[in-house]
Structure 1
């Protein structure tokens, strides 16, 4: 039985990924932001270990690795937040939250679990975004956090190669999730989930990477709709 540490399991891609791993009998260690989300995760995944930590406050992640026993097969960074707006109007707390949740917390969480990942010769997976490859107008803070996440992954891959820890970044284009619905509301556009790739498609890609034999790795993979649309 494999052990996976996962953020973002309450919604979207993270929820689908957690269910897929649970259904095949893997052990889950899930992060919850507060008591409410912790209770929800415990109800949905009764066999999982649920840890309380707020990604918006990276300091709450310190010492988290000591709460988990044994090797870890994968650390899956899926959680993220987004607030759109031009640089001229973005408030400080909007910058700070996106950088904390999308970049600083993944770095701290990875540090916490590296001993477990080394022991398991495991995989660190960053679910990034097409915004981590191209920055468009009104996406400065989110794109900055995701460009930084790409750099974190690249540096980590080079540092941990000899320890047998593999690192993969997945760059999904717009995906039919509650976050995407929020983005459309911020853009003032109509949300039509049928236009975008599904969370299940992204998860199938993640599972393919997770299930690779130990002699192979996929450093980066981009997932896009068959027919790209403007802004994807």
Structure 2
């Protein structure tokens, strides 16, 4: 039985991944703000990723950890000219600083297990368009974090990045509704499909490592590029 930590574990890709891992017998440590929506079988760790400095005090002592999967993420789209400091700070904290701090805290346990770190990024982490400056910047930073960590931990901890495209999650639906944008779930990849791919990354034999994995739907919905009219 492996011990795997998953952030953003109560919804979307994270919840689907937790269900897969617990069903097959893995011990799952689930980092959530509210454990009420957590899939059965996971062990909740209540923490607020928007406050990275609080994470060290929220985590139990962990001597050995086979993997951590950073699934949590937030997005507040808007043009650069209208994004306030609060939006930038919150997105950077949740999407970048918290994964960096959590990884730092867990590295001794990951090294002991010769474990894995999986960062769930986004297509915006490779190319950001209109309205996605803050989100894209945080995800570009997450790519840099993964690349640097991989180089530093070569031969000890395996580091992978997964880049999902349009994925049918509550966050995606909420964003599309706020932007009054077209949304057809049949043209998005399911959260379960992305979670299955992440589980396969975790299952790679010890003599191999997935560096970057991009997952996109065959007929993706165009991203909104403007705010709705008032």
Same fold? TM cut 0.5? yes
How many Å apart are 1:117 and its aligned residue?
0.5
Corresponding residue SS for 1:30? strand
Corresponding residue SS for 1:170? strand
Correspondence 1:191-206 to 2 at 5 A: 191-206=183-198
Correspondence 1:188-227 to 2 at 5 A: 188-227=180-219
Counterpart pick for 2:45 among 51, 58, 62:
51
Deviations 1:44-80 (A, max 9, x none): 33x4332221000111112455x14331111000000
Counterpart pick for 1:181 among 173, 176, 182:
173
CA distance in 1, matches of 2:199, 2:137: 27
How many Å apart are 1:229 and its aligned residue?
4.3
Q: Does 1:157 align with 2:150?
A: yes
Give the structure-2-normalised TM-score. Answer: 0.93
CA distance in 1, matches of 2:184, 2:170: 12
CA distance in 2, matches of 1:231, 1:83: 14
How many Å apart are 1:9 and its aligned residue?
0.9
Correspondence 1:70-85 to 2 at 5 A: 70-85=63-78
CA distance in 1, matches of 2:36, 2:105: 24
Correspondence 1:50-69 to 2 at 5 A: 50-64=44-58, 67-69=60-62
Give the structure-1-normalised TM-score. Answer: 0.92
Q: Does 1:25 align with 2:19?
A: no
Correspondence 1:103-182 to 2 at 5 A: 103-162=96-155, 164-182=156-174
Corresponding residue SS for 2:44? strand
- 2:14 is aligned to 14
Counterpart pick for 2:79 among 75, 86, 107:
86
Corresponding residue SS for 1:62? helix
- 1:38 is aligned to 35
Is the Cα contact below 8 Å between 2:166 and 2:188 reproduced in 1? yes
User: Alignment RMSD, CA only?
Assistant: 1.5
Is the Cα contact below 8 Å between 1:73 and 1:117 reproduced in 2? yes
Is the Cα contact below 8 Å between 2:184 and 2:221 reproduced in 1? no
Gaps of 5+ in 2: 225-230
- 2:228 is aligned to none
Is the Cα contact below 8 Å between 1:84 and 1:186 reproduced in 2? no
Deviations 1:126-162 (A, max 9, x none): 0000000011001000000000000000000001113
